Amino acid sequence: MSNDVHDNAARHRFELDLDGHTAFSTYRREGTLLTILHTEVPQELNGRGIGSKLVRGVLDIARAEGSKVKPLCPFVASYMDKHPEYADLRA
């Protein structure tokens, strides 16, 4: 499965572009620790599972990089709680 989520390092956020809108998760990096601070999905994309797709993409990127994730964002923390396949990434 391809990952449409990309890292906009200049803005310290992961982005998912869809239908002219951008959902994003802001982060802070400290070595191999990736702290997810906030996730936002534009109202126009609500109700379509875009937030979950974004977080799944972020976690897949973290895994590929060998990073651990500290989810300060409640949405990301909840997603990780509900998806035990990502439990190994939690810092």
d(CA 35, CA 70): 5
- Looking at residue 13, what is its pLDDT? 98
**Tens digit of each residue's pLDDT (9 = 90 or more) over 12-28:** 999 999 999 999 999 99
What does the DSSP 8-state code read for residue 57?
A: H
Report domain 6-89's class.
Answer: alpha beta
pTM of the shown model: 0.94
What does the DSSP 8-state code read for residue 90?
A: B
- Looking at residue 1, what is its pLDDT? 35
**Tens digit of each residue's pLDDT (9 = 90 or more) over 36-78:** 999 999 999 999 999 999 999 999 999 999 999 999 999 999 9
What does the DSSP 8-state code read for residue 63?
A: H
- Looking at residue 66, what is its pLDDT? 97
What does the DSSP 8-state code read for residue 8?
A: E
d(CA 55, CA 91): 16
